[in-house]
Amino acid sequence: MGLVGERGMRRGVYLTVGAIEHAQRDIAKPWPAAAFWKYMARLVDTGVVKVAKEHGELGEEWGLRVARAGGGIVGTRERRVRAAAEWMQKYVTCREGVWEVKIGQLDSMVQDLTRGESSGRARVTRQEIYCAVMVIAAEKKATVQVRMLGKGGAKREWRQEWEEWMVQEKWFGAGEARKVMDAAGLQIKDMEREILTVIEGGAGYYGATDGLLQEVNRVVTIDRESHNLGELRGREHPEITAEFCRKGKQTVVEMAMSRGKVHRREVVGLWFSASCGPWSTGNGLGKSKGVGKGPHAGQEVEPEELQAVDAMIESVDKFERKGKGGNRYFIENVAWGGLKDHPPMKAAFGEGSRHGAREGIVMGCAYGLKHQGPYRFWTNLTEEEWMPRVAEDYCVHCREGTQHEEVMIPGVGDHRSRPTLPGYTMEAARNRVPPPLAASVARGFLKAHETRWKKKRRRQDQE
């Protein structure tokens, strides 16, 4: 190539964007534009040519042209990085310009992006997506939780594998690939085995999540959508974004364990927050005006909501049966909603667990809420493992029979405010489970889990 020369072909040279444009105009006139850029990409991939802007920086403009032309390995790398970044924008929580990629999200991203064809070319591979995420992490645009294990849970040298793959596929030269993985390594948290975990279905506004994380190392959240919590937290995305329904042969819980790479021995319990909207008595207040919703307004519950409840029932029931009575669960919903009367729910779990509380109801004000906040719960935790607080012992308003500071739905002449929480939206403040309640349940999970595995180890020692 005339602009490079023999010495340049041996050592590699830098060309400015202007020089390349000159080459396309004057030297490569007979070539179609796409063919020219593909040829240039091959020169860069092999290290013959390094492209720079006039100030010596990597030619970003040129790189974009190569990617648009779809040529060379550089173009493939840019497309994969761009696809991973676009996926993160939809499904990953971002704080101060940095995406927080969790294990389940990384697995979901790989599944989503490797399903179809890429612009009519070869199918996208898992390795391409993993390495694209490493490139983004190396630029300090993402932190990544990773759990990569070999057969039988053996330790796997995945960093070395990915570095070698980048060199083999000519994404980078050997030295550059090492720098990328070293920089990415600072943004990576390698999650080893034996991490005590709670599977949480219906993460909603993350009140339960925050409480559970006070006691356990990890909470794998599942929800159908993300939620805006307000200026304090912004938009939170669940670790696994999915509808509550059976995935092939897998229940919702089994799907979460698979995508989150959770071993069954790590799961200390299930927490499910069934959707309040379809079952709440509040949705029936407009019945006389013809605008009420749900069973309290004489209407049928939406099919997708029924499907979600049935999927929850199936998941919890199977989880409990597999544990032979040792696996613990906790389900919560609005206290006087219609879920307790839903036939499948009633058949599986009754109208609520008592645990010394009236009708299986626990008051949120006993855990710090400024309004009464009653919840109905279903659980197989024993009374030795968990007991709900008695509201009169913790709430002065319940003890003295006075009005709480806030109220969910003010009546006529009631001037109290609806629930508020500094930095959170009104929706989040109204729907967040009090974290101390979830933390107390998590302690019950841990107590049951410890007792169960102690018994198992004792049996093994005796054998």
- List pLDDT tens digits, range 319-348: 999 888 789 999 999 888 788 888 899 999
**For residue 15, which phi and psi values (nearest 5 degrees)?**
-120, 140
Domain boundaries, the chain: 5-70, 76-190, 197-461
DSSP strand pairing (218-223 vs 240-241): parallel
Long-range pairs of 59-64 with CB within 8 A, sequence gap ≥ 24: 59/16, 59/17, 59/20, 61/17, 62/17, 62/20
| Consecutive H or E run containing 227 | strand 227-228
CA distances 98 to 134, 135, 144, 302, 420, Å, are 13, 13, 10, 37, 29
CA distances 264 to 46, 64, 165, 261, Å, are 47, 45, 32, 10
Closest CA to 380 of 436, 332, 318, 327: 327
Low-confidence ranges of the chain (pLDDT < 70): 1-75, 116-122, 149-155, 247, 277-299, 357-358, 456-463
Q: Is the pTM of this model over 0.75?
A: yes
CB 138 within 8 A of CB 12: no
pLDDT at 354: 78
Give the three-state DSSP class for 324.
Answer: coil
Closest CA to 220 of 238, 208, 195, 194: 238
Taking the C-alpha atoms of residue 162 and residue 350, their distance in angstroms, rounded to an integer, is: 51
Q: Which residue has the tokens 């041996």?
A: 10
Return the structure tokens found at 87: 């996926």
**For residue 189, which phi and psi values (nearest 5 degrees)?**
-115, 110
For residue 266, which amino acid is it?
E
Would you state the CATH architecture of domain 197-461? 3-Layer(aba) Sandwich (3.40)
CB atoms within 10 A of CB 158: 16
Reduced 3-state DSSP string for 24-91: HHHHCCCCCHHHHHHHHHHHHHCCCEEEECCCCCECHHHHHHHHHHCCHHHHHHHHHHHHHHHHHHHH
Helical residues (DSSP H) of 278-384, grouped into ranges: 303-322, 343-349
| Consecutive H or E run containing 295 | none
pLDDT at 160: 92
| Consecutive H or E run containing 254 | helix 252-259
